[in-house]
Amino acid sequence: MNVEIIFFFLVAALAIVSAVFMITRRNPVKSVLFLIVNFFCLAVVYLILHAQFIAIIQILVYAGAIMVLFLFVIMLLNLGDESRLAEKTTYRYWIAAIAAGAALVEIALGVGVSLGGTHGSFHPAAAEIGTVEFIGRSLYSEYLFPFEVTSLILLAAMVGVIVLAKKKFH
């Protein structure tokens, strides 16, 4: 085993532990903090897979912007009273338990198949594909039209939000 594989398993174990802690914490702020740890672990896994751009976007977008939004919403809602958050055992609980069990069986089967089979190797250009330069080059050459259409859709959405939020003065 080389150092990269050992480091991968350490980061993967930390990601699993932080995900379990995120789900099991009663305090929503602590849960969000464990989710941030999980996002950083995912970014490290992306770096191990030579996907530098996705790792940086993972940190900037998810661990940065979205988690700040979550923290502000939690603080504004004042979710300190945990008695209101208690749920009764209903049919939804059993449906969720069955779905979680099915997902766990599927993950176990996937891991079992991957351990038993032969492992393929990375594409020869895998280290180059994850770089910002490669993504920028392909975004502005092969995918220029979809990129521009997306920017126009986002611009139309911003204008629509401004029009809807604008107060009418009489």
Q: What is the DSSP string of 83-129?
A: GGG-----HHHHHHHHHHHHHHHHHHHHHHHHHHSPPP---TTHHHH
Residue 36 within a domain: yes
User: Which residue bears the tokens 């198949």?
Assistant: 113
**Between 110 and 11, the higher pLDDT residue:** 11
Q: What are phi and psi of 58, to 5 degrees?
A: -60, -45
Residue 132 within a domain: no
Return the CA Rg of the chain: 22
Query: Which CATH number covers residue 67?
Result: 1.20.120.1200
Residue 12 within a domain: yes
> pLDDT by residue (tens digit) across 35-77?
889 999 999 999 988 888 888 888 888 878 887 787 777 777 7
- pLDDT of the residue at 170: 44
Please give the DSSP secondary-structure letter assigned to residue 58: I
pTM of the model: 0.60
- pLDDT of the residue at 16: 93
pLDDT, averaged across the chain: 83
Share of the chain above pLDDT 70, in %: 85
Residue 106 within a domain: no
pLDDT higher than 80, residue 138: yes
pLDDT higher than 80, residue 166: no
pLDDT higher than 60, residue 163: yes
Residue 164 within a domain: no
Residue 115 within a domain: no
pLDDT higher than 90, residue 148: yes
How many structural domains compose the chain? 1
User: The domain containing residue 36 runs over which residues?
Assistant: 1-84
